[in-house]
Amino acid sequence: MGCKRFLRRALWALAVPAVAGVVRGPVAAAAEPTEQVRPADCAGMWYPGDAEALAKLVDDLIERAAPNELPAGRPRAMIAPHAGYQWSAPVASMAYKSVKGLSYPRVIVLAFSHRHSAFQRGIDVPMEYTAYETPLGKVPLDAEVCAALLRCPLFTSTPGLHRQEHSLELQLPFLQRTIGSFRLVPLMVGGLSSAECTEAANALLPWIDDDTLIVVSSDFTHYGRNFNYVPFTDDVPEKLRAQAREAAKPLLNADYDGFVDYLARTKDTICGRQPILLLMRLLAMQGGASAVRTGFDTSGRMTGDYTSSVTYQSFVFAPRELTLPADAREALLKLARRTVTAHLNKERLDRFSPAELPEAARADGACFVTLENHGVLRGCIGNMEATGPLYEAVIRNAIYACQDQRFVDNPVTSAELDEIHIEISYLTPMQLVSNPNEVVVGRDGLLVELGPRRGVLLPQVAYSHGWTREEFLTQVCRKAGLPADAWKDPAAHLYSFTAEVFGEP
């Protein structure tokens, strides 16, 4: 090895911060961290390399974008394609239109590596960089989040993995021109089992809030012999449209299991399937999402040649809309707190006039009331069907939650009042489930009946554990004291319902 080459490698090794499992050697305690910028490798090839031209292109695309639909709430995530801008940018712009002018101090981008086939498992965090660069400027990394993620064994750091990779870089100019300043968490997602998806989601969830945007980078069907995927040869344009709609269906329901089933059934060549699956799990573990498909196109339509075609789709996800008004939720939580306090202090609930409550709180409704002490369950009781006004159900179930028979040997006490967190789950009417494959974790709660046995699990029980659909069905059967596969019994009745879950701050 030549002396200059050796010196370059030695200097590089000293300049790159230490990462999990890698020792770089001693570093002076007083040394300031050296800025290490991941350069704009794709500029001038995948998108314009001139800053002015790039800004004008992205701004014009956003201005002209006419999404099929936009979500009602503040976006929390999106899926956008990543081909050369002449192909995919119009579809990507339809998703980015939804965040134009909004502020997100943190952006987590879930991408993947086209170039490093050896990277098959886990998630890579580029700890050798302090910033990503595009012709529009530098984007600083969120060093705190990146370092914290490496505490989870699924997250590793491989120097050089992010170089020359376009799937992540191509999202940055859109982010720079729509939301402006932000800190970046750039992640390359490899293969993950269902359990690993849950583990990775649990590592990410503490860093996801209303000020965080998640961007998944993915194209969709890669059709043609060049991609070894020719599931049909006649009426290709329409069948590609139909396949895109079929792929979109589970995504619009934030349905992890539905997307897994779709991939297994069709073998669709969706390059960003792993980042998409991780997003589906993240959304499910936040109680689901309201989603819209903002854009669709194919390269075959653009060229007029469908012998080789890539499908582009974009989606935007926002929190599920609540039907119970904010004033009713606030009033019911205060009423539940007063009820629990009075009951545990062995006092009568203060008299009040129901007319003082918001109209929605006085309408008929069913609910569960849950008591937790620093995340530990202390009681949860409810009614599945409305038998009277919602506020009466809250009072009754708050009292019963204090008397939950599962905790008869260790009941909740007045000494815990300041530590107790109260949560209310407002239920929609139950619907008979004719096909268990239609159950969506994150959206649905379940009730199973077989003979005299009956079991119920609220939606948040399933999504907080990151269960798959089959695990959810199994657990609700166990809750009823039934065999784990009792949901398959033709005599069993399975019902689903949704819940609007809200709690004290």
10-residue mean pLDDT series, the chain (505 residues): 33 31 34 79 96 98 92 94 96 97 98 74 93 97 97 93 92 98 97 95 97 98 97 97 98 97 97 97 95 97 97 96 93 98 96 94 97 96 96 98 96 96 96 96 96 95 95 98 97 96 93
Contact 412, 402 (CB under 8 A): yes
- Look at the alpha carbons of 370, 371, 373, 377 in this order and tell me if their dihedral is positive or negative: negative
Q: Which two tokens stand for residue 348?
A: 């009568």
Instruction: Report the alpha-carbon distance of residue 453 to residue 5 in Å, rounded.
Output: 73
The dihedral of CA 461, 466, 468, 471: what is its sign? negative
Question: What pLDDT was estimated at residue 26?
Answer: 36
Instruction: Say what the pLDDT of residue 22 is.
Output: 34
In the sheet that holds 137-140, the strands lie side by side as 37-38, 131-134, 137-140
Q: Using an 8 Å Cβ cutoff, are 459 and 368 in contact?
A: no
pLDDT of residue 117: 59
What is the rounded CA–CA span in Å between residue 212 and residue 106?
5
CB 239 within 8 A of CB 309: no
Whole-angstrom CA distances from 343 to 347, 374, 396, 407 are: 6, 20, 11, 16
CB of 470 within 8 A of CB of 456? no
Q: Which two tokens stand for residue 458?
A: 């609220």
Residue 69 CA: distances (Å) to CA of 65, 215, 277, 296:
11, 18, 23, 12
User: Domains in the chain, ordered, with CATH?
Assistant: 30-318 (3.40.830.10), 326-426 (3.30.700.20), 431-503 (3.30.1490.150)
> Cα separation of 35 and 493, whole Å?
61
CA–CA dist 413, 213 (Å, integer): 41
Cα–Cα distance measured from residue 216 to residue 62, given in angstroms and rounded to the nearest whole number: 18
Alpha-carbon torsion (486, 488, 493, 497), positive or negative: positive
At residue 409, φ and ψ (nearest 5 deg) are -85, -10
φ, ψ of residue 252 in degrees (nearest 5): -70, -20
* Distance in angstroms (rounded) separating the CA atoms of residues 74 and 98: 8
Amino acid identity, residue 144? E
Question: What is the Cα–Cα distance from 131 to 127, expressed in whole angstroms?
Answer: 10
Cα–Cα dist 349/22, whole Å: 61
- How many Cα atoms within 13 Å fall on the side-chain side of residue 435? 4
What is the dihedral angle through the alpha carbons of 286, 287, 292, 296, rounded to the nearest 10 degrees?
60
* pTM, 2 dp: 0.87
Q: Hey, what amino acid is at 42?
A: C
Q: Which helix H or strand E contains 457, and what residues bound it?
A: strand 453-457
CA dist 199 and 149 (Å) reads 11
Rounded to whole angstroms, the Cα distance separating 189 from 282 reads 14
Using alpha carbons only, what angle is made at residue 381 by residues 377 and 387, rounded to the nearest 5 degrees? 160
Q: How many H-runs (helices) and E-runs (strands) does the chain carry?
A: 16, 19
